[in-house]
């Protein structure tokens, strides 16, 4: 068995990795470590990830950062979630890349992270109420147009659960926590995904470490 350690708890990005590890039923050591506690700034953690960010995964000698890159790596290492023939085709790979880039860039980075920076983290990044309002509206407009052939009773990738569901659900959970009213189909999909045993196990594993104080 490989030796797997995951650094990071308490954020939607760390949650993604806990979730896939639970789906794949891979045993791992959980280094509970919350954001903005100063722990990412230590010398030992900086040696692991010079970007000073969580999550980080070590898999034997490999050190991987970026939540989506970690998901892709783990899925390739483990046969528990085999790729469909369509996903292996050039057309399928391209569609997969298109959907993952869309969720990461348009929904996560350009929308929700802007809201987070200028709302919850405004003491660090500054107040910007216009940017917050427009990012919230942008999120909903892009969600409705970017995943248009979406069936809430299935997965993003049709019949197969994949990293795309982990990206989309973690993003929708985050929007829901920010009280962005989700369209009915996405709410239905979210409720369905939230019942997955691995989702529930990952929620537990990703709980913020209570002994670490987060600065206000
Ligand atoms: N693109 C990265 C983003 C990682 C990221 O921004 N992590 C934040 C927490 S969500 C972080 O570690 N911030 C520095 C800190 O908390 O000290 C990913 O998807 O993994």
Q: How far is CA 53 from CA 40, 62, 133, 149, 194, in A?
A: 6, 17, 27, 34, 26
Give the span between the Cα atoms of 58 and 183, in whole angstroms: 37
Q: Is the pLDDT of residue 212 over 60?
A: no
Task: Please tell me the distance between residue 55's alpha carbon and the centre of ligand 1 in angstroms.
Answer: 7
User: Ligand 1, atom 17: nearest CA belongs to which residue?
Assistant: 36
Q: Is the pLDDT of residue 216 over 50?
A: no
Give the span between the Cα atoms of 83 and 17, in whole angstroms: 18
Q: Ligand 1: which atom is nearest the Cα of residue 35?
A: 16
**Over residues 177-181, mean pLDDT:** 96
Q: Is the CB of 54 under 6 A from ligand 1?
A: yes
**Over residues 72-77, mean pLDDT:** 95
Q: Ligand 1: which atom is nearest the Cα of residue 54?
A: 12
**Over residues 4-33, mean pLDDT:** 97
pLDDT for the residue numbered 159? 87
Q: Ligand 1: which atom is nearest the Cα of residue 109?
A: 1
Q: Ligand 1: which atom is nearest the Cα of residue 34?
A: 16
Task: Please tell me the distance between residue 149's alpha carbon and the centre of ligand 1 in angstroms.
Answer: 31
Looking at the DSSP bridge assignments, the partners of residue 30 are 6
**Over residues 185-202, mean pLDDT:** 97
User: Ligand 1, atom 16: nearest CA belongs to which residue?
Assistant: 35
**Over residues 124-128, mean pLDDT:** 96
Q: Is the CB of 35 under 6 A from ligand 1?
A: yes
Q: How far is CA 176 from CA 6, 171, 187, 206, in A?
A: 26, 9, 9, 18
Q: Is the CB of 16 under 6 A from ligand 1?
A: no
Q: Is the pLDDT of residue 30 over 90?
A: yes
Q: Length of the chain, please?
A: 216
pLDDT for the residue numbered 150? 84
Q: Is the pLDDT of residue 92 over 50?
A: yes
Q: Ligand 1: which atom is nearest the Cα of residue 40?
A: 17
The Cβ of residue 30 has, within 10 Å, a number of other Cβ atoms equal to 17
pTM of the complete model: 0.95
Domain 4-81+201-205: CATH superfamily is Glutaredoxin (3.40.30.10)
pLDDT for the residue numbered 214? 47
Alpha helices in 31-101 (DSSP H): 43-48, 67-77, 85-88, 90-101
User: Ligand 1, atom 2: nearest CA belongs to which residue?
Assistant: 66
Tell me the pLDDT band of 118, cut-offs 50, 70 and 90: very high
Q: Ligand 1: which atom is nearest the Cα of residue 12?
A: 10
Tell me the pLDDT band of 158, cut-offs 50, 70 and 90: confident
DSSP secondary-structure letter at 157? B
CB 136 within 8 A of CB 110: no
**Over residues 122-151, mean pLDDT:** 94
Please compute, for residue 14, the number of CA atoms within 13 A of its CA located in the half-sphere on the CB side. Answer: 24
Pocket test for ligand 1, best of 7, 10, 13 (most atoms within 8 A of CB): 13
pLDDT for the residue numbered 67? 98
Helix (H, G, I), strand (E, B) or coil at 23: helix
Task: Please tell me the distance between residue 84's alpha carbon and the centre of ligand 1 in angstroms.
Answer: 31
Fold of 85-160+162-195: Glutathione S-transferase Yfyf (Class Pi); Chain A, domain 2 (1.20.1050)
Residue ranges covered by each domain of the chain: 4-81+201-205, 85-160+162-195
Q: Is the pLDDT of residue 152 over 70?
A: yes
pLDDT for the residue numbered 215? 43
**Over residues 76-92, mean pLDDT:** 91
């Amino acid at each position: 068995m490989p030796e797997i350690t995951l650094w990071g708890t308490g954020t939607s990005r760390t949650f993604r990795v806990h979730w896939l590890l639970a789906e794949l039923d891979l045993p791992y050591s959980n280094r509970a470590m919350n954001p903005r506690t100063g722990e990412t700034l230590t010398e030992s953690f900086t040696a692991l990830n010079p970007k000073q960010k969580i999550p980080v995964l070590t898999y034997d000698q490999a050190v991987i950062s970026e939540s989506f890159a970690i998901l892709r790596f783990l899925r390739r290492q483990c046969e528990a979630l085999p790729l469909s023939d369509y996903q292996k085709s050039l057309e399928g790979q391209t569609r997969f890349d298109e959907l993952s880039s869309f969720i990461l860039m348009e929904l996560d980075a350009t929308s929700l992270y802007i809201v987070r920076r200028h709302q919850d983290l405004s003491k660090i990044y500054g107040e910007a109420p216009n940017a917050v309002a427009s990012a919230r509206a942008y999120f909903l407009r892009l969600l409705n147009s970017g995943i248009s052939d979406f069936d809430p009773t299935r997965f993003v990738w049709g019949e197969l659960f994949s990293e795309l569901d982990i990206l989309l659900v973690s993003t929708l959970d985050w929007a829901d926590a920010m009280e962005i009213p989700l369209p009915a189909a996405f709410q239905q999909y979210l409720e369905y995904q939230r019942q997955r045993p691995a989702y529930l196990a990952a929620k537990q594993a990703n709980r913020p470490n209570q002994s670490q104080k987060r600065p206000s």
